[in-house]
Amino acid sequence: MNAAHRLRASRGFTLVEAVIAIVIIGIIAGIVAMFIRAPVLGYTESAERAAASDEADLALRRIARDLRLALPNSVRVLPDGSAVEFLLTSTGGRYLAVDDDVPGLPALDWDNADNRQFAVIGGTMRAIERGNYIVVYNLGDGNVPSDAYRFRGGADDTNIARVEAVDYAQPNTPLVTLEDNAFARQSVPMTSPNRRFQVVTTPVTYQCRLLADGSLGLVRYWDYPINAAQLAPPQGGPREAVIAARVANCGGIFQYGTAATRRSALVILNLPLRPRGGNGLVRLVHQVHVDNTP
């Protein structure tokens, strides 16, 4: 093989051949992309919708768990359905009444406001702590004196008092000392027929509002003062946490029955979220049974 023949054998592709190869590869890639693009987009949108559904489901389950611990007749919803508020309970029990006639133990006094201590019969499922609230026979809806939202330290005609101290020396009959015996200053004594009381830890508000990034989000507020009026957002330095982002709209998220149907009522939760890609809408609806038997 002479030198000229070896040179022709090793010269490789020409520019025209390279351009033709690139064009053919581009055509093939475009055809393949047309078939792959739709499944990839479909998978991405499905994953984003699934993530939004999981976020909405987790938020609704959190709200439902809290609502099941709400003080009877304490649930209230703003007219536009953008916020719900209730008093969160931790436990409850039976208070010793004068009629029980148990010597050596103090009864909850409905006549003398100076007697601020009473015994709990049978203990409680969870410990009562200082700063908790004792509520007896809550009827809500502005019923005086059976509306716990009327709480004011030293006020008359309320059915709620803050705990000053608890003595667990006898676990089955702990002694609760109140900061103020508001029950003895009721104009019409509203004792519980079953001598029952509930322990409230804090009011809780769930509100849909504008977040710092300009999107709508669902926010949980807690650890703020009890207020007679429903304020959203609540005042008094509450703690807060965003439990759902990218809410589509705030109207009608929370629905509650009328006063006539609230003895055994449903709170309807309707949460619409937009997936991260912004395509479509995910809406989850959840119904929570609220036991309003005081």
pLDDT tens string, the chain, 294 residues long: the values are 555 555 455 556 677 777 787 888 888 877 776 777 667 666 567 788 889 999 999 999 999 999 999 999 999 999 999 999 999 999 999 999 999 989 999 999 999 999 999 999 999 989 999 999 999 999 998 899 999 999 976 677 899 999 999 999 999 999 999 999 999 999 999 999 999 999 999 999 999 999 999 999 999 999 999 999 999 999 998 999 999 999 999 999 999 976 555 566 889 999 999 998 767 899 999 999 998 988
Taking the C-alpha atoms of residue 173 and residue 133, their distance in angstroms, rounded to an integer, is 18
How far is the CA of 140 from the CAs of 153, 254, 255, in angstroms?
Answer: 18, 19, 17
Q: What is the pLDDT of residue 283?
A: 94
Tell me the domain boundaries of the chain. Answer: 87-201
Alpha-carbon 92 to chain mean position = 21
Q: In which order are the strands placed within the sheet that holds 282-291?
A: 254-256, 264-273, 282-291
Q: How many CB atoms lie within 10 A of CB 112?
A: 9
CB neighbour list of residue 105: distance below 8 Å, 6 or more residues apart: 96, 119, 173, 175
Q: What is the pLDDT of residue 5?
A: 54
- Bridge-based pairing of strands 254-256 and 160-167 is unpaired
Write 65-69 long-range contacts (CB < 8 A, 24+): 66/204, 66/206, 67/267, 67/288, 67/290, 68/288, 68/289, 68/290
Q: What is the pLDDT of residue 153?
A: 66
Would you mind telling me the total number of residues written for the chain in this entry? Answer: 294
Q: What is the pLDDT of residue 136?
A: 98
Q: Which residue has the tokens 């949980």?
A: 220
Taking the C-alpha atoms of residue 11 and residue 258, their distance in angstroms, rounded to an integer, is 90
| Angular region, 276: left φ>0, alpha ψ -120 to 50, beta rest | alpha
